[in-house]
Structure 1
Amino acid sequence: MSSIFTSIIVNIPYIIMALLAFSLLIIIHELGHFTMCKLNGVKVYEFSLGMGPKIFGIKGKETEYLIKAFPIGGYVKMEGEDSVSDDPRAFNNKTPWQKLSIVSAGAIMNLILAVVLFAIVGAAEGYILPIIGGVVPNSPALHAGLKVGDKITKVNKVNIDKWEQALTEFSNNKGKSMDIEILRDSKVKEISLTPLKNVKENKFMIGIAGLQKKMNFGETVSYGFNQTINSAKQIFTFFGSLFKGQVSSNEVGGPISIIRISEKAAQAGFTNLMFLTAFISVQLGILNIIPFPALDGGWIFMLLFEIISGKKLDENKVGTINYIGFVFLMALMVLVVIKDVVSPLKL
């Protein structure tokens, strides 16, 4: 018991960092909605971080800013969002384009945050060229004759332009013998080697490191956009696997799992936590544009229908549909949290 207590005490700073990172995603998302509400003249009653009982609140001129007990979401409570209001500043009395700008702002802000965080990581760590920057002693790479300065041009006849491509080919090789084409002193050379299995980490090792290079401003911005796009592709690939039944429940987690994973990332270093936060921000942005009632995507779908068809939807029916969707989402969230507690992800 004492060892568990000690472990919790030691990890408190990392847990706090994880909670702050998770809270940042929610604040940025809701800040997007809130800002567009103000720009479009919509009355906002509450800006809430978290769900459940109120812990702390500050009452502004019109809006109350709240922190609630459970850090698993947030919301901006607007006049006329779920019911019809005669107030000219109500959400339901704004044009479809104004409504669209408000409901889509949260997801857009999450994607912008991801670009910024990825760019900061790129500026801090630089990027890795497909050039060998180090060779591990007594490794397959050293025994095969690879040297610092060798540029990797092909792996198993696949052209290599980026270090990430080389890593992908190494991973896909699954420990079998591989052919690596390098450029050394302007001469092409082919080297064959077989990775060595690291029993402790249960993965195969070649024993090389790429050459790191610092980025200029333009490169950091490009890196931020590219990583955001790549993260989005990974998420859509995951959804594809999920719908095909290729993902087990053991690979799916909720807010508790996110905080636990973020805690591990914080222990590995601040840039690791920032990279993970950026990736989760992309996830949050994409999840919110799924066309499901009560999610931003549900609103986006209905508003686009209004704009394209020119037909106004029945606001009372829209409110009922969103209420049912909200109840379903809350029930799903409870189930996910229970799953997180009963059967947590293995880290």
Structure 2
Amino acid sequence: MRFVIAVIIFSVVILIHELGHFLLAKKNHIEVLEFSLGMGPRIISTVKGGTRYSVKLFPLGGSCAMAGEDAEDDSPGTFNSAPVWGRIAVVAAGPIFNFLLAFVLSVIIVGCMGYDPATVLEVTQNSAAEKAGLKKGDVITEYQGYHIDLGKDLYVYSYLNELKEGDTIRLKVKRDGKEQEISYKPDVNVRYLLGFNRSDVNSMTVESLIKGMPLEEAGLEAGDVITKINGVEVPDGKAYEKYIEEHPLSKEPVTITYERNGLEYEAEITPREYRTPVSGFGYNTYSEKTSGFNVLKYGAVEVKYMIRTTILSLKELVTGHLGMKDLSGPVGVVDAIGDTYEQSKSEGTLMIWMNLLNMAVLLSANLGVMNLLPLPALDGGRLVFLVAEAIRRKPVNRQVEGMIHFAGLMLLMALMVIVMYNDILKIF
């Protein structure tokens, strides 16, 4: 069932994208040779009004094939015979329809669940945030110069732009209908760590070691089982947490006893200081009900959030903060939708629908943004040539354009193979 639901959502998002191209092509009297859902051989096909409508074997993807679209043909009814602004409208319609779909679905979600204002829920007592004047109930509208509409705006920006010691936190908040500016240096939380990750919270088995931290330097390995700290037995995660609570780690050395292959070893290590800047406040990430015009307003805000998040993620990818392993293709998307469905079943039917619609919004907005990137073979790349034609009042050499798009398509296919391979590795 999870696979079927995932494929349906993915197919609807693709279908709406291609429908945008199709409707604007018809509007501009461009002959559409085939409108299809899926890839590969046809399993269902019919011809009506000169257009073949098909459903193909593999339900991921789709196309709107127009006459003369990839040729130098400009005879009546072909893509190139249409006015340049008509062709721009045809190409741009796909991404625009994705944004429209995202908006309609977001309105449904906001109407049912509400939205999440970035309201300050708590301010740490005696913190730098409190001393700077931040108060419970303030609504954050800007963080580090980044406009905040929703609590998840702040969450995503903070996640992708980690706070560093010495930074200045700059906020704009709305209080009693008035906007105020607040700035302060964050407090620093100082902890001492051993530097290991457990296989689960109840286990003392070392799953992995943090590079450059004490346990790694002492020679421990993944699979070792920590049994004692300073001679005190820690048979499970609960006992370990209790020991750390009663005997907080400091810069004083500790003796770690561990087992490897049935043999017991000891290592004396000095915990490493770990400093974490903290903002000093907590904020809302849960939905509040709204009604009337606000449903439309925050439906649009939700789409804006999805678009900005996609752009921020692309920026992190270009700057190297995210890597190829963080990308997902059709296989990864279908798996993520399936996981969302499975995880939502325990929360009831309404939450299943809301979470799946939210995935559809994310996917549709993401597809719209990605297709508008000015890269060969994508809608954005084609728009670059069409806008150049509109400015120059004559087309760019179509043979050159075709070669550029073909090269872009080959690179895109290579990227898709890599991403699909990564998706499969993640699943298995």
TM over 0.5: yes
Task: State the match for 1:280 in structure 2.
Answer: 363
Task: State the match for 1:7 in structure 2.
Answer: none
| CA displacement at 1:214 relative to structure 2 | 2.7
Corresponding residue SS for 1:80: coil
- Determine if the alignment matches structure 1 residue 152 to structure 2 residue 130: no
Q: Residues 339 and 282 (structure 1 numbering): CA distance in 2 closer, same or farther, change over 3 Å?
A: same
Task: State the match for 1:10 in structure 2.
Answer: none
Corresponding residue SS for 1:88: coil
Corresponding residue SS for 1:76: strand
Instruction: Name the aligned partner's letter for residue 56 of structure 1.
Output: I
**Which runs of structure 2 are paired with 1:234-253 in the superposition (5 Å)?**
234-253=309-328
Q: Distance in 1 between matches of 2:157 and 2:328?
A: 29
Q: Distance in 1 between matches of 2:410 and 2:54?
A: 22
Unaligned runs of 5+ in 1: 1-12, 133-139, 141-149, 175-182, 184-193
- Determine if the alignment matches structure 1 residue 32 to structure 2 residue 25: no
100-109 or 318-327, which deviates more: 318-327
307-316 or 44-53, which deviates more: 307-316
> Is the Cα–Cα contact under 8 Å of residues 107 and 296 in structure 2 kept in the other structure?
yes
Task: State the match for 1:177 in structure 2.
Answer: none
| CA displacement at 1:169 relative to structure 2 | 11
Instruction: Name the aligned partner's letter for residue 112 of structure 1.
Output: L
Which of 92, 95, 98 does residue 107 from structure 1 map onto? Answer: 95
Task: State the match for 1:58 in structure 2.
Answer: 46
Q: Residues 200 and 74 (structure 1 numbering): CA distance in 2 closer, same or farther, change over 3 Å?
A: farther
| CA displacement at 1:92 relative to structure 2 | 1.0
Q: Distance in 1 between matches of 2:154 and 2:410?
A: 47
Task: State the match for 2:295 in structure 1.
Answer: 220
Which of 282, 307, 311 does residue 394 from structure 2 map onto? Answer: 311
| CA displacement at 1:208 relative to structure 2 | 10
Which of 285, 289, 298 does residue 381 from structure 2 map onto? Answer: 298
Task: State the match for 1:186 in structure 2.
Answer: none
Q: Distance in 2 between matches of 1:152 and 1:61?
A: 60
Q: Distance in 2 between matches of 1:208 and 1:289?
A: 33
Corresponding residue SS for 1:127: coil
> Is the Cα–Cα contact under 8 Å of residues 82 and 318 in structure 1 kept in the other structure?
no
**Which runs of structure 2 are paired with 1:193-232 in the superposition (5 Å)?**
213-232=288-307
Please identify which structure carries the higher helix content.
1
Corresponding residue SS for 1:82: coil
Instruction: Name the aligned partner's letter for residue 138 of structure 2.
Output: T
Q: Residues 325 and 210 (structure 1 numbering): CA distance in 2 closer, same or farther, change over 3 Å?
A: closer
224-233 or 106-115, which deviates more: 224-233
Instruction: Name the aligned partner's letter for residue 217 of structure 1.
Output: G
Corresponding residue SS for 2:56: strand
Instruction: Name the aligned partner's letter for residue 89 of structure 1.
Output: G
> Is the Cα–Cα contact under 8 Å of residues 119 and 223 in structure 1 kept in the other structure?
yes
Task: State the match for 1:96 in structure 2.
Answer: 84
Task: State the match for 1:19 in structure 2.
Answer: 7
Task: State the match for 1:326 in structure 2.
Answer: 409
Q: Residues 164 and 153 (structure 1 numbering): CA distance in 2 closer, same or farther, change over 3 Å?
A: farther
Task: State the match for 1:116 in structure 2.
Answer: 104
Q: Residues 85 and 224 (structure 1 numbering): CA distance in 2 closer, same or farther, change over 3 Å?
A: same
Report percent identity of matched pairs. Answer: 32
> Is the Cα–Cα contact under 8 Å of residues 120 and 283 in structure 2 kept in the other structure?
no
> Is the Cα–Cα contact under 8 Å of residues 46 and 65 in structure 1 kept in the other structure?
yes
- Determine if the alignment matches structure 1 residue 41 to structure 2 residue 51: no
Aligned length, in residue pairs:
294
29-38 or 90-99, which deviates more: 90-99
261-270 or 278-287, which deviates more: 261-270
312-321 or 291-300, which deviates more: 312-321
Q: CA RMSD in A?
A: 3.6
Instruction: Name the aligned partner's letter for residue 332 of structure 2.
Output: S
Task: State the match for 2:113 in structure 1.
Answer: 125
250-259 or 26-35, which deviates more: 250-259
Which of 259, 272, 278 does residue 334 from structure 2 map onto? Answer: 259
> Is the Cα–Cα contact under 8 Å of residues 114 and 279 in structure 1 kept in the other structure?
yes
Q: TM-score, normalised by structure 2?
A: 0.60
Unaligned runs of 5+ in 2: 125-134, 165-174, 176-188, 190-199, 203-280, 345-351
Task: State the match for 1:289 in structure 2.
Answer: 372
> Is the Cα–Cα contact under 8 Å of residues 131 and 210 in structure 1 kept in the other structure?
no
Instruction: Name the aligned partner's letter for residue 367 of structure 2.
Output: L
1:233-273, Cα deviation, whole Å (9 max, x unpaired): 11111111111111133322111110011112223111011
Query: Of the two, which has the highest radius of gyration?
Result: 2
> Is the Cα–Cα contact under 8 Å of residues 99 and 364 in structure 2 kept in the other structure?
yes
Corresponding residue SS for 2:71: coil
| CA displacement at 1:167 relative to structure 2 | 6.3
Which of 41, 64, 73 does residue 85 from structure 1 map onto? Answer: 73
Corresponding residue SS for 2:137: strand
Q: Distance in 2 between matches of 1:165 and 1:82?
A: 41
